[in-house]
Amino acid sequence: MRVVGVIDIGKTNAKVAVVDLDRFEEIAVRKSVNVVLTDGPYPHFDVEWLWAFVLESLAALNAEHPLEAISITTHGATAVLLDAAGKLALPVIDYEFSGPDRLAADYGRVRPPFSETGSARLPMGLNVGAQLYWQQKTFPEAFAKVVSILTYAQYWTYRLTGVLSNELTSLGCHTDLWNPTEGRFSSLVESQGWRPLFAPVRRANEIVGPLRPDLCTATGIAMATPVYCGIHDSNASLLPHLLTRKAPFSVVSTGTWVVMLAVGAEPKTLDEARDTLINVNALGDPVPSARFMGGRAFQMLLGEGAVSSSIDIEEAVAAAGHMLLPSVPEGSGPYPSAKADWTTDEEALSPAERYAVVSFHLALMTATCLDLIGARGEIVVEGPFAANNAYLRMLAAACGRPVFADPHNVTGTSLGAASLVAGSSVRTGVRPFTGTVTESLVHYAGTWRKAADSHARIEKRP
């Protein structure tokens, strides 16, 4: 197989891409904004709109590039509840909805300890277990009709093939549902009686089934085209490097969330209160991880059409000590309780200076996360921040280790999902970041870390 269609649904945007496995690059793509509906019992993803977008895109792309396989990657923190007819028993909850917080105390009494799941306690619906618990208690009649629980990527696999499944990387991303050390469902799943509802667990690279015949007819895709199980998006970014790079190294997957995954990390006690956790990679192995909402912060602070900075402006910002201290937004990341604070008059900054300060802030948040999970060796940046030189420069200054990125290919999730397909010629295309790293940037990084820790009242461990 040479040409793969990838369905890539992120929290903010959705796309369908065509990946040429010989060249190992995207050759065509269709994109759209992901929509959250506010009608019904709670905010939820518009899965029917997404489904129409997926089918229309597959048909249009297949007409130009006949597809030989389909793979899926999606954001985490999402589960889908199906009834006996295979329809939604309840809407697919937006994980940024705060409803589950209303039962936080009750949920806290039944959720497994961090030592069992490696899953930090997070607000809103960021723990899938909290979503399920809230839905079960709030809508008991609807929940009683649930016969299948699917992780999000595997919901789309189900719609493409009719086969029900779950998958390791999606179960193992801060859900409270999985024990990554023992490779089985957590005690929460057993104690709440959910275990019979979960479809069989498969590996991300398994072929779940062929594309449904009616969908082949509707899209023009060849009959019996294989559909792969699918993968959580951060692990999709990690996978090509996992297959081609020697440990130790870390991958920084950037999007709405910035997720750091450290392969071959120095053993460290993870701090649940600072949004460190254990993910499960596509090979089924536990991986120390950390995260913060970096892409959302960039969008909130700079908006569309941000003006990038030059080296001279970055040096001037560093010399002046203009800083943004965490956190934007609040509630997650390494400083979850801290309120953002500018050390300078932000209104007096030029657009390019503001870009530099924000980029520095995001790089230093990343460096803090990498330190918390014991990351060692090379740092690979995937996604939109791979094209942000100010971010890469400050990350190199703060960590003192080689940074790699591919500024011309900022879609690591799609290529990672394509890596699941048998016979893919996996390569990454990343190259060393060679931008100048000056002593002023190193000094700025050290000053920011001390100021951020003081601002958030973080005591340095001995």
Q: Which domains does the chain have, with CATH numbers?
A: 3-229 (3.30.420.40), 240-455 (3.30.420.40)
The whole-number pLDDT of residue 305 equals 81
Q: What is the mean pLDDT of residues 387-415?
A: 90
pLDDT more than 90, % of the chain: 88
Residue pair 203/222 in contact by the 8 Å Cβ criterion: no
Beta pairing, strands 324-325 & 341-342: antiparallel
Report the percent of the chain where pLDDT is more than 70: 98
Asked if pLDDT for residue 157 goes beyond 80, the answer is yes
What 3-state class would DSSP assign to 204? coil
11-17 long-range contacts, CB within 8 A, separation 24+: 11/75, 11/95, 11/255, 11/256, 11/257, 12/255, 12/256, 12/295, 12/296, 12/299, 14/50, 14/53, 14/54, 15/57, 15/414, 16/53, 16/54, 16/57, 16/58, 16/61, 17/411, 17/414
pLDDT at residue 462 greater than cutoff 60: no
pLDDT band at residue 422 under the 50/70/90 scheme: confident
Query: Average pLDDT in the 317-325 region?
Result: 97
Tell me the average pLDDT of the chain.
Answer: 94
Round to the nearest angstrom and report the end-to-end CA distance of the chain: 54
Tens-digit pLDDT profile for residues 235-286? 998 999 999 999 999 999 898 889 999 999 999 999 989 999 999 999 889 9
In this prediction the pTM is 0.86
What is the reported pLDDT for 332? 84
Q: Are strands 341-342 and 378-382 parallel, antiparallel or unpaired?
A: unpaired
Give the span between the Cα atoms of 353 and 366, in whole angstroms: 20
CB 50 within 8 A of CB 16: no
Residue 460's pLDDT band (cuts 50, 70, 90): low
Residue-wise pLDDT for 344-388, tens only, equals 999 999 999 999 999 999 999 999 999 999 999 999 998 899 999
The confidence band for 192, taking pLDDT boundaries of 50, 70 and 90, is very high
